[in-house]
Amino acid sequence: KQWYQRRVRDSIRVWEIATKECTLELREHDHVVECVAWAQDNCTSHINECVQQENPRAVKSEGPFLISGSRDKTIKVFDVSTGFCIISLIGHDNWVRQAIFHPSGKFIVSCADDKTLRVWDYKNRRCTKTINAHEHFVTCLDFHRNAPFVITGSVDQQCKVWECR
């Protein structure tokens, strides 16, 4: 079993629970890392498709994979088994506060201090939808477990529920 720790600076540490040792330090961001999350198992095939689209010789990986968002305004996906950043997404105009994989595993959804909620087609490395979600910084988001809804929270003291279509 492994767990991660975001550092105050620009890196993420992965720890081996049994030995209490740091086994990996991921250093690709240029500023403070605001969020990290594990990719769910159904993301593996989609992530491998994305990597092989860019490099047909790339070897398929079983992961695990981590997603991170940073004050450098980027979202990154890491292959923890190799320590490499395999996907970088650029498009937010301010600090990325949260980034998570859509339950289907095909998309990434993020929120940021640019007041937006964004949907990313990470296979093609592009933002497919931008929603001006709040009047102030959007600080968190989550998916409903069984229904097609996303909830966002903001410094404007509001929570909003969005239907995924």
Instruction: Going residue by residue through the chain, which has 165 residues, state the pLDDT in tens, using 9 for 90 and above.
Output: 555 555 456 788 888 888 888 888 898 888 999 999 999 999 999 999 989 888 888 888 998 999 999 999 999 999 999 999 999 999 999 999 999 999 999 999 999 999 999 999 999 999 999 999 999 999 999 999 889 999 999 999 999 999 987
List the one residue out of 26, 8, 20 whose CA is nearest residue 81: 26
Encoded tokens for 38: 């594990």
Question: What pLDDT score was predicted for residue 11?
Answer: 83
Separation between Cα atoms, residue 143 and residue 102, nearest integer Å: 8
Distances (CA, A) of 112 to 80, 91, 120, 146: 25, 10, 13, 25
pTM of the model: 0.90
